[in-house]
Amino acid sequence: MEVFDRIHLDVMDYDVKGRGLGKVDGAVVFLDGGEIGDKVEVEILKKKKNFYEGKIIGYDKKSSRRVKNPCPYDRCNGCAFLSLERQSELAWKRERVASAVARIGGIDTKVEEVITGGDVFGYRNHMQFHVKGGKLCLYGKEGELIPIRRCLMQWERGNEILTALQGEKWLADIQTVGIRTTRGGEVMVILVGKKDMSDRLLHDAVAFAVEEKVDSLYYSKNKNPRFHYGKTFEHLYGKETIEETLGQFRYGVGAGNFFQINPYGAEAITREVTKNLIGAETVVELYSGIGTITLAASRMAGQVIGNEISEISVDYARQTAENNGVTNVRYIAGPAEKMLPKIAEEETIDGLIVDPPRAGLDPVVVDTLLESKPKQILYVSCNPSTLARDLGRLVAAYDIEKIQPIDMFPHTASVETVVNLKIK
């Protein structure tokens, strides 16, 4: 089979990006837009060593799971499952977790039905748009830039600013625009360019912010195409931070702060963690980020220790705890694989919360857990494969009480999982 060949195949599954997956003569073919149950005609676009990539050029039969795509930007590459009925999406996400736990972890256990946090549309409070010809764009399925006037996943206040920005002549020297919003209706605009900001651009940008009632305006100089923003942010107008609330805690969100894109989903994860957290004197959270779970756990423990590698995030978490009057938490900066052994030497850890990046737990962290044996581990994961790998080791000393998938990013292939483990 060669590039530009046309073939017929059945879509049998999705990959981790949400692309349709089929096979021809034992060879795997990935294609955008395919739904399980589709019988399609495909043109081969790329030939790799172990797989092919193709595009659908016709349907022999459409899947019964298909629904009408509500998005007018069908070529946008942001969402994978807008043409898939909602229950089928949730069922696939549950199966993705269950399959990984069984196949990679070698564990036969129940996986709960997926729960959701908030609406399935309009859940994103932060988006970045590329600027081309004065128009704000998102990437398409083939790498092209598509002008976007409204995104179904963005909060409505963000869409109002997105629409107002389209076609503004002063965007000529801007390469990226970030829009951050809060549930209270505040909005922050972050302009990104390769050069220092000119007086003319400053004048026009501030005039726009005043007219459109933008609460906070920033500029970031960035020459590295790998990143949306530069390392520094220049405050131009309005407030330095906008305010968001998660649970009972208030957070000031700045231009460079990490903050959960879907606060409703973040609250769902936090609820799942705290409702399963047994009463404990000392709780430790590894990979604690800006401290959202740490603060929530503070209500259920004598003391909570948060560990995060980023000094910036640790400083932010400390300030947030102080602003909220929380006095029984402390934060330690440094890599988890180095900090956990030190903490375990100094403290008797009753409960441990981990929320690692996609790579999962460092082997040293797992070794330390198996040696120190906290009574309970609550594992928050964004990657079923590395979660399953780590569970495969932890079950030597722990029983899995519950595996709860959470759909934090509807219409994408992503799925979060909270696992409750208790010492045997």
Instruction: Evaluate whether 232 touches 221 at the Cβ level (below 8 Å).
Output: yes
List, in order, residues 6 or more apart from 227 with CB less than 8 Å away. Answer: none
Return the structure tokens found at 359. Answer: 């790579």
376 is in an annotated binding site: no
Helix (H, G, I), strand (E, B) or coil at 68: coil
Annotated active-site residue 137? The verdict is no
User: Around Cβ 6, how many Cβ atoms within 10 Å?
Assistant: 11
CB proximity list for 263: less than 8 A, separation 6 or greater: 118, 125, 183, 244, 246
Catalytic residue among 76, 79, 137, 382: 382
C-alpha distances in Å from residue 287, one per residue of 48, 110, 212, 334, 380: 36, 27, 38, 10, 10
Nearest residue to 276 via CA among 407, 104, 99, 112: 112
Q: Which residues contact 316 (CB under 8 A, 6 or more apart)?
A: 257, 290, 291
- Is 175 annotated among the ligand-binding residues? no
Token digits for 1?
């089979």
Q: Is 355 labelled as part of a ligand binding site? A: yes
Active site positions, annotated: 382
Annotated binding-site members: 260, 287, 308, 355
Binding residues for S-adenosyl-L-methionine: 260, 287, 308, 355
